[in-house]
Amino acid sequence: MKLINIGFGNIVFANRVIAMVSPESAPIKRMIQESRDKGNLIDATQGRRTRAVIFMDSDQIVLSAIQPETIAGRLDKEVVEEINNEEI
């Protein structure tokens, strides 16, 4: 299982991530509030501003203070390393 660092020592399983989006739009803000009300929200921002909203396949939403592009770059780096290790 691949792990991905989402900032400040917080980690999620990469294969459980469905999508990573910016929290700026009204529909995303609504989804965050609904998830918070249901108890399915995981706040991994450590009190900082939310910059990425990560949707998991378990219907949980994870908030991160790291940009979605940064998290995606970390994921891409792991995928490239995995491919290189398989070719050797």
Q: What is the pLDDT of residue 63?
A: 98
Task: Determine the Cα–Cα distance for residues 42 and 65; give it in Å rounded to an integer.
Answer: 12
**Which tokens hold the place of 3?**
């792990």
Q: Do 85 and 26 form a contact (C-beta atoms < 8 A)?
A: no
Q: What is the pLDDT of residue 55?
A: 98
Q: Do 62 and 40 form a contact (C-beta atoms < 8 A)?
A: no
In angstroms, the first-to-last Cα distance of the chain is 20
pLDDT digits (tens, 9 = 90+) for 7-63: 999 999 999 999 999 999 999 999 999 999 999 999 999 999 999 999 999 999 999
Whether 80 has a pLDDT exceeding 60, the answer reads no
Phi and psi, residue 77, nearest 5°:
-60, -40
Whether 88 has a pLDDT exceeding 60, the answer reads no
Q: What is the pLDDT of residue 79?
A: 64
